[in-house]
Amino acid sequence: MRTLQASIPAGVCDAEAFQCPGQHAYTAGAALPFTRVRVVSPAEISPVDISAWVALEAEALQPNAYMSPHFVLPALRYLDRPPGTRILLVERVGAGAVQTVAVAVLCRLTATRLLLAPHHSIYRSRHSYLGAPLLHREFATDAANHLFTELARHRWSAAGLILPNVDPEGPLLAAFSEACRSRGLALQTTREWQRATLIPSRAGEDTLRNQKKYKRVERCRRRLAELGDLQWLIHREGVDDEIIESFLRLEHSGWKGRRHKSLRSRLADEAFFREMATGFAREGRALFTELRLNGRTIASTSNFASAHAGFAFKVGWDEAFRKFSVGNLIDAELVERAPEVCNDLAYIDSGSGPHSHMEVLWPHRRSLVTVFLPYSTAGQLAWQGMQSLRSLRRFV
């Protein structure tokens, strides 16, 4: 759920994982247009690169707000930057124009719980809940192939690439699967599970009424309304500093603040959130909801849009109204109102973990798996051997 902190498994990153910043790692074909891969460090990313990255995000084959420059760059600036983190940009070069058709932010790990051999992993901060790179929907197959070609150059020093929490049936995985298959390799998957998701076109009052907590939510709503004017608001335009500050204050109150789990508990996390939310808000892609009682905000959620999808982030509420389950109530309101206020979004990913409370409020499910793209037969065997060992341990 929005309070879950999911991060890449602990490991040691290699500062020499990729080529030098700005180097053209791979160029295919002499005639225009041709495709190239550039490898840059976070410090070397330019305003032109960022603009092209934003344009790619809007046309992504599989939306992922956690791979947006508005999310990744503040995370690298304030949260964590593993040594050797690199940004790979796949570009189509034409006559007087360069179009970015893929972006992947990666680091190199020497060992993790999933694989003891050195490997690459998609960059994920402690506040990232998906691990898919961005591929342009019109050039996905070619972009995946060039990205894989560049990464496979490291097959002598890295077993492959791990992508945590990606859609096993989506077109992005199909593109990478084809890139593997063309080299006689097989994409590997593990850890499949279901995440609570909201599909606005299939939501509404009737959908909410069929959920397990509906009666409790309705009871809390009636009791709360007895105290005065109860309003649910959604902000998709004009998300300003006041709305962001109100959310941070509520998210810090109560148990999150006491246990140092809130964004405001760490200066770096708050700075990250402010910059990230402001970046999305500038483009009208921040989506905040509020529950107000007599004009006072008593609960708030932060969410973000990327391409045609929404991504729930975190929730906060006033502890004085805890007995009214305002955290559940504000999420339930979105289920009821989504067909009206989010009809431009194909789905909203809850960002929750397995067995989250969101599963009793948000009715739809999205399958996610961890994916391994082997760079060589040796890398594929290393992964399969590790999975066999993990299976054996479960029975010992």
| pLDDT tens, residue by residue, 196-213 | 999 999 999 999 998 878
Query: Tens of pLDDT along 40-57?
Result: 999 999 999 999 999 999
- pLDDT value, residue 5: 30
- pLDDT value, residue 18: 53
Whether the predicted pLDDT of 251 surpasses 60: yes
Q: What is the pTM of this model?
A: 0.90
Query: Tens of pLDDT along 211-243?
Result: 878 899 999 999 999 999 999 999 999 999 999
- pLDDT value, residue 31: 65
Whether the predicted pLDDT of 104 surpasses 80: yes
Under the banding of pLDDT at 50, 70 and 90, the label for residue 96 is: confident
Query: Tens of pLDDT along 7-17?
Result: 323 333 343 44
Whether the predicted pLDDT of 146 surpasses 90: yes
Whether the predicted pLDDT of 299 surpasses 70: yes
- pLDDT value, residue 396: 55
Say how far apart CA 165 and CA 290 lie, in whole Å: 29
The answer to which of 133-137, 193-197, 305-309, 383-387 has the lowest mean pLDDT is 383-387
Under the banding of pLDDT at 50, 70 and 90, the label for residue 395 is: low
- pLDDT value, residue 26: 46
Q: What is the mean pLDDT of the chain?
A: 91
- pLDDT value, residue 6: 30
Share of the chain above pLDDT 70, in %: 91
